[in-house]
Chains A and B, each alone.
Chain A
Amino acid sequence: ETGVTQTPRHLVMGMTNKKSLKCEQHLGHNAMYWYKQSAKKPLELMFVYSLEERVENNSVPSRFSPECPNSSHLFLHLHTLQPEDSALYLCASSQDPQGLAGEQYFGPGTRLTVT
């Protein structure tokens, strides 16, 4: 369970705050992902980075800003969030391009609460 780590595990922030979520993978992968998991809804893919280049951005509001400085690290910068942004944010990594063996490995998530 230490292949993909995320910090912090829990975060409470006000709507005017700025915070960042961090993800680190120790698997030698070259693709990383941010997902949003809300209660009773399917996981929603937010961003995909492959070889440190953003390759997918699924209509995510600009108050979420990803950053991938290298293939092992991924950040999600948060600012002026809304209460409906409260959710579990999951990071994942994989080897890209993916065949069947390119499964995604998930981190434990950051539980975000926006007050």
Chain B
Amino acid sequence: AQTVTQSQPEMSVQEAETVTLSCTYDTSESDYYLFWYKQPPSRQMILVIRQEAYKQQNATENRFSVNFQKAAKSFSLKISDSQLGDAAMYFCAYRSARSGSARQLTFGSGTQLTVLP
């Protein structure tokens, strides 16, 4: 079974600075997808960024980028120029690309990010 580990329960960053959230995962599969979701307080969980395992190039979405290290099974999220609205719980998630297993997202336990003004 796949597992996703987020070793930082809480992180804080100064506004306009850069922060990196860590995520590692364990799988025996070679083809899969990885995601970072953001859950602001009392608001809906939304997808921040996603990565296909077969792509070597790291995904980027505006101020959000990932460092995907497939051999190390690491998938960290970098937030540049942090804004107050980035404060949220961030979840790393894994999804198999294998038919029949492709629906289940396996989540990490989350990292609570605080942005300091």
**Are B44 and A1 touching (Cβ within 8 A)?**
yes
Map CB proximity to A onto B80-117 as digits: 1 under 8 Å, 0 otherwise. Answer: 00000000000100010001001111111110000000
Does B110 lie within 8 Å of A1, measured CB to CB?
no
Whether a CB of chain A sits under 8 angstroms from the CB of B15 is: no
Is residue A52 within 8 Å, beta carbon to beta carbon, of the partner chain?
no
A100 with B52: in contact, given A4-B44, A106-B45, A108-B43 (CB under 8 Å)? yes
Cross-chain contact A90 with B43 (CB below 8 angstroms): no
Instruction: Give the secondary structure class of A's interface.
Output: loop
Number of A-B contacts (CB under 8 A): 53
Number of interface residues of A (CB under 8 A): 27
Taken together as a complex, chains A and B put the C-alpha atoms of A33 and B95 apart, in Å, by 14
Q: Is B75 interfacial (CB 8 A cutoff)?
A: no
Q: In angstroms, how far is the closest chain B Cβ from the Cβ of A52?
A: 14
Known A41-B109, A42-B4; contact A56-B47, beta-carbon cutoff 8 A? no
Interchain nearest-CB distance for A87 vs B (Å): 14
| Cα A44 to Cα B115 with chains together (Å) | 27
Cβ contacts under 8 Å, A96 to chain B:
103
Residues of A within 8 A of B106 (CB): 42
B43 near A1 (CB under 8 angstroms)? yes
A107 contacts chain B at the CB level, 8 A cutoff: yes
Size bracket of the B interface: 20 to 34
A7 at the B interface (CB under 8 A): no
> Which residues 1-39 in B have Cβ within 8 Å of A in the complex?
4, 9, 33, 35, 37
The answer to whether B108 and A48 have CB atoms under 8 Å apart is no
Q: Chain A 37-66 against B: per-residue CB contact (8 Å), 1 yes, 0 no? A: 000111101001010000110000000000
Question: Nearest Cβ in chain B — how far from A22, in angstroms?
Answer: 16
Further 10 A-B residue pairs, CB within 8 A, beyond A48-B104, A96-B103, A104-B47: A4-B44, A33-B103, A42-B107, A42-B110, A98-B102, A103-B50, A104-B105, A106-B45, A108-B43, A108-B44
A-B pairs with lowest CB-CB distance, top 4: A106-B45, A43-B107, A42-B107, A108-B44
